[in-house]
Amino acid sequence: MEEEFREGGERRGRDRGMNIKSSYFLPKPVKAGDEVEVTIDATAAKGDGIARKDGFVIFVKGAKQGDKIRVKITDVKARFAVGEPLQ
């Protein structure tokens, strides 16, 4: 992040005074190990299915648009989760 220091050590930068209203810090609707039922809304550039749970993105390996499947969450990041389809 770019920042500069003023005389007296005061910091100025892009984060100063920002009103952070990001999902980054909010609780996630899923956690690793959860099993949830989702509908695949779209397909990502790498071929994974994209679903949402309470607005939170879940990438599902090998899923296709329109699939309604049960998935096991394998990883949760700040802005998305990764899941694998259950048989």
DSSP state of 28: P
Domain 3-85 homologous superfamily, CATH: Nucleic acid-binding proteins (2.40.50.140)
Question: 54-65 in b/e burial notation, b at 16+ Cβ within 10 A?
Answer: eebbbbbeebee
Query: pLDDT for 2-21, tens place per residue?
Result: 445 455 555 555 555 444 45
Query: pLDDT for 68-77, tens place per residue?
Result: 999 999 999 9
Q: pTM of this prediction?
A: 0.72
- SS3 per residue for 30-63: CCCCCEEEEECCEECCCCCEEEEECCEEEEECCC
Cα–Cα dist 45/42, whole Å: 10
Cα–Cα dist 29/53, whole Å: 7
Query: pLDDT for 44-67, tens place per residue?
Result: 999 999 999 999 999 999 999 999
Domains of the chain, residue spans: 3-85
